[in-house]
């Protein structure tokens, strides 16, 4: 297992800290049942997913409260793509979420649900991926673009 997933799926205290203060139990951006493949044992399991504040949590049960402990969490900013994967795993309503080191597969209950999850996760990836500011753009000669602009 990659370091990324070990950090994400480690002990329950690591999972709790991965929640990073996100109140996953209230007003999620999206919530619903998805079937996901297990990390160690590659069986398909139905889990309740909650997308909130750039994190995709999953639980065994759809009743999520303040005391619920996520079974796992994916920080979406570390994800590169989310796209349909029906042809890849030969399952209807399937989609994949990929990071630099891993690809996870999910199965929604309908085409509509699949599209909604892809759209929601895609939006979240864009919102939470680190954007480059003017101060961080280094000009070709090594000076900061912002500093160069102030001199002109």
Kindly report, residue by residue over 52-69, the tens digit of the pLDDT. 999 999 999 999 999 999
User: Domains plus CATH for the chain?
Assistant: 3-151 (2.30.29.30)
Look up the pTM and report it.
Answer: 0.74
For residue 144, pLDDT beyond 50: no
Rounded distance between C-alpha atoms, residue 136 and residue 133, angstroms: 5
Kindly report, residue by residue over 16-40, the tens digit of the pLDDT. 556 778 999 999 999 999 999 887 8
Distances (CA, A) of 104 to 17, 21, 42, 57, 93: 22, 24, 11, 13, 14
Rounded distance between C-alpha atoms, residue 107 and residue 72, angstroms: 17
């Amino acid at each position: 297992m990659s370091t990324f997933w070990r950090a994400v799926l480690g002990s329950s205290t690591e999972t709790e800290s991965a929640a990073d203060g996100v109140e996953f139990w209230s007003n999620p951006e999206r919530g619903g049942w998805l079937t996901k493949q297990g990390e160690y044992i590659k069986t398909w399991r139905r889990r309740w997913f909650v997308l909130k504040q750039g994190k995709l949590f999953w639980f065994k049960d759809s009743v999520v409260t303040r005391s619920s402990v996520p079974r796992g969490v994916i920080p979406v900013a570390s994800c590169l793509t989310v796209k349909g994967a029906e042809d890849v795993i030969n399952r209807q309503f399937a989609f994949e979420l990929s990071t630099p080191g891993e690809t996870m597969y999910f199965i929604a209950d309908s085409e509509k649900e699949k599209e909604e999850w892809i759209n929601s996760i895609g939006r979240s990836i864009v919102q939470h991926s680190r954007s480059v500011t003017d101060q961080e753009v280094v000009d070709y000669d090594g000076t900061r673009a912002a500093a160069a602009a102030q001199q002109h």
